[in-house]
A and B are shown apart, each in its own frame.
Chain A
């Protein structure tokens, strides 16, 4: 009897061992980093995983963009067919976690010390009810100015420190016959710029209250009205054809010297690099005037799904590789963003990257690291899109005054909450 039990146990453990040995050595990945620099950046991760013996399998997405990928993901999850991981943004991770389809990487997180190295603001999105459900890949920040240095020298401009400086600089460019501000008139670009305007006009406390806490009084306040006035002021400096322009075309205007400056997230740097431009000599990166010391961020995350047991090892390998210091450095150097952990050395980064890393660390320590509302890190998508609607309608004239804009903003956010 005892012998039988022992044999049984041995067999069972042998089976378990066999099952363990048959782990699927493959990572199924849903993402939309298919072009140029982004694809090159991702190849670093593929290489790292290949060294550990894991094959990389892209989940095909028709159409390519993030929207198409999210629609595909929704269908996959509804069919119970989870990928190992998916590129995800902000509240999407939390939505899926609330639906109970995300995995649990808490053990790995503890072992790797993510709690300490990943900024607390990011953990709001990668940790759900105490469980790690996503691995942040990078931190983008949106409150940047990208300036063509040749044009800047020609008009004799200096770094603007306040909003009024900025307006004066734009006036100089206008007088010199250059398009002062390169803007793509799509709602997310306008709203991304407005994020910075609000931070500059109202300061860090105000931004947090209005755009992260959605505090009614702040949204209704005169400061918000002033922010809309400032936005209206900036819009007077764009060229007449800005409506509908893609962001990278606006960046190209700055690269070519047709325009002086673009307000855009640090992914714009990738365009400068692709055109073989060097920070400091060809282009300049400054924080949006009046926002130095604060960082409005968004972040790409790899959401980790609740995959079958035989795929868990591959998932852990993916998550570990994603947050390894070497990958964080290599990837973000190419992508233009900064590492999602604050303890990665900045030696390989260019001047803008170094500043970005230092700013992120300072903002994390000082509590001035805020989610971008336009990029879906300030509030859930329904609210974020309602916000983009209002900003865009204001920029294009459906909403005529800043008073009306404030009323509409409060109404739209209330309605979407």
Chain B
């Protein structure tokens, strides 16, 4: 009885030693990840919760921690239906719809089209690819200012064409309250479509040439080839591109500011501009927080079903 006990005692330290090492090995990735995990928890999810909390207070210039109910949401809800004259919030959300849809759709279409063209084994691809990709290297501020000058009727395109003799040319969207949001789309598409092209190009290069050849032998036309085989195979790229574009669209605050400084009468605002204006300039932190929460909810409502449907089909 006693011998058994001693041998057990002898064994335990070794086992213990071994398990410390293996435990450490097991834990090492976790330890390495812990700081960034903690930072994400606090600075992303913590502040999301904090923002949600603030949206139910009556915070003005400074945060206040007394819950006073949903007045901020009630005001936003009221503004949602203030269409004539449009309230700033109504303008922001309709602009988000227009901008988000056009930006994502045109970038995907144009990016795919350019990628297919570049994939035709043309000469000079090495030169063309970076030319299209380069705008992505610019910040939104640079893009915004450059396009602001280019689109300004007194400075850019219109002025130049007038000087060249085409005096009937007229393009003042950037000064027009009804069209200014489309100039934001133009600048945004210019910047991002090259990057999307590169993503699609990578996808196209990853497609097995055997499948293409097999289809060609079966007598598929080029259009059928892309329509039935290539584009369906690019589905994961569509998902990645969509997610990249969707988050760029929702966070494009700086583009609006640099390009239009808010547009005539605030007609180019996006919800992010609304949020910044109300939180920091108008000292209505509760309303700003509420609008941020609504933005988050919208993103969740769009992205989560999409991710769910895409990722669920993967194992098939």
Contacts and interface: CB of A to CB of B under 8 A. Distances in A.
Interface of A: 67, 70-71, 74, 78, 92, 95-96, 99, 185-187, 240-241, 243-244, 380-382, 385-386, 389, 392-400, 404, 408, 415-416
A1 B263 CA distance: 79
Task: Give the most central of B172, B261, B263: most A CB within 10 Å.
Answer: B261
A210 B277 CA distance: 24
A241 to B, nearest CB: 4
B165 interface: no
A71 B280 CA distance: 7
A241 B175 contact: yes
Contacts of B284: 382, 416
A393 B153 CA distance: 21
B74 to A, nearest CB: 11
Interface in B35-59: none
B94 interface: no
A244 B153 contact: no
A192 B265 CA distance: 14
B281 A244 contact: no
B266 A243 contact: no
Contacts of B266: 187, 389, 392-393
A243 B175 contact: yes
Contacts of B265: 187, 389, 392-398
B88 A389 contact: yes
A99 B61 contact: yes
Contacts of B60: 95, 382
A396 B153 contact: no
> Mostly helix, strand, loop or mixed at chain B's interface?
loop
B281 A398 contact: no
Contacts, number: 85
A70 B152 contact: no
B69 interface: no
B80 interface: no
Contacts of B86: 393, 398
A186 B268 CA distance: 12
Nearest to B175: A243
B85 interface: yes
B77 to A, nearest CB: 13
Given A381-B283, A398-B85, A415-B75, A240 B264 contact: no
Interface string B268-296: 00000000010011111000000000000
B85 A385 contact: no
Contacts of A185: 175, 264
A398 B263 contact: no
Contacts of B193: none
B264 A381 contact: no
B181 interface: no
Given A95-B62, A95-B283, 11 more contacts: A186-B261, A240-B175, A241-B152, A243-B264, A244-B174, A244-B264, A386-B282, A389-B88, A397-B177, A408-B85, A415-B75
A240 B153 contact: yes
B280 A244 contact: no
A240 B170 CA distance: 12
A395 to B, nearest CB: 7
